[in-house]
Amino acid sequence: MDSDDGRGAKREAMASFDAAADAYLDSDVHRAGEDLDALAAWSADASRALDVACGAGHTANALAEAGVQAVVAADATPKMVRTAAANFPVAGVVADAERLPFGPGTFDAVTCRVAAHHFPDPEAFVREASRVLAPGGVFAFEDVAAPEDPGLADFVNRVETLRDGSHVEAHPLSRWETWMRDAGLAVERATAGRLDLDFADWVDRTDPPAADRERLAELVRTPEAEAAYGVTVERGEVAEFANLTALVRARKPA
């Protein structure tokens, strides 16, 4: 984090997200997935739901399709909020995940998907999610995760930062569980999963500079990559590659 409490880094990240709103709207990885289905199913009983860091709005839309009547799609990047509200039946709000502009107990469900690795203070985000939840409300969370082993976690975060300059830190599942419990939530389910990805597409999506691409191509062929990402290489090409994910359902006590 930089000396201005992460705000400079946040501004830079928002500028890159601003340019990426249309790509996120069209992205297959964001448009669908078992994680998306789980978050929507866990939140389906809510009447008021908040999706934090909504991106182009796919998770917020899944909540609306699951029957949630009032869905707020919040994101720190104004163009993402405009894209979500223009394409889906949701209300858009520009908001920082770490300082949510809603009163205590406003929502029956809070979701956040493939986004929290961009937050400089994820613990503050979890406290905010808990604060805006009504008693009995559900926090349905998914993100790219780091391995529990600290050395492999450092490796994963090095790779992710080379690929995406707006990456801050992926955390292990157990850390998310601890933060949720510390914020007064009861963890009901916590699953470490894997999301199979095409390595070349995954790198292309963020379009890193040539030198970073070369370094990524080297790093993905190391034993650490095999351990962290389940990489296999066949005839010089990366054949298998998967991101670790953390999927958690937590509840605010009634």
Ligand X SMILES: C[S@@+](CC[C@H](N)C(=O)[O-])C[C@H]1O[C@@H](n2cnc3c(N)ncnc32)[C@H](O)[C@@H]1O
Residues at the site binding ligand X, with contacts judged by CB under 6 A = 10, 13-14, 17, 24, 30, 53-56, 58-59, 75-77, 80, 96-98, 113-115, 118-119
Residue nearest to ligand X (CB): 55
- Pair 49, 74: CB distance under 8 Å: no
Distance CA 140, CA 68 (A): 14
Please tell me what DSSP assigns to residue 185: P
Closest distance of CB 140 from ligand X, Å: 11
Nearer to ligand X, 43 or 59 (CB): 59
Which two tokens mark 47? Answer: 């009447």
Closest distance of CB 152 from ligand X, Å: 23
Chain centre to alpha carbon of residue 66: 20
Distance CA 76, CA 6 (A): 14
Nearer to ligand X, 97 or 224 (CB): 97
Closest distance of CB 125 from ligand X, Å: 7
Closest distance of CB 254 from ligand X, Å: 27
Nearer to ligand X, 62 or 216 (CB): 62
Q: Would you mind telling me the total number of residues written for the chain in this entry? A: 254
Closest distance of CB 155 from ligand X, Å: 22
Closest distance of CB 98 from ligand X, Å: 6
Give exposure, 165-194, as e/b (b: 16+ Cβ within 10 Å). ebbbbbbbbebbbebbeebebebeebeebe
Phi and psi at residue 242, to the nearest 5°: -145, 140
Nearer to ligand X, 15 or 186 (CB): 15
Nearer to ligand X, 1 or 186 (CB): 1
Measure Cα distances from 191 to 109, 142, 144, 152, 252 in Å: 19, 9, 12, 19, 19
Query: Which residues are within 8 A (CB) of 114 and not within 5 positions of it... i.e. 6 or more apart?
Result: 29, 30, 35, 55, 142, 143, 144
Closest distance of CB 239 from ligand X, Å: 26
Nearer to ligand X, 58 or 224 (CB): 58
Nearer to ligand X, 14 or 224 (CB): 14
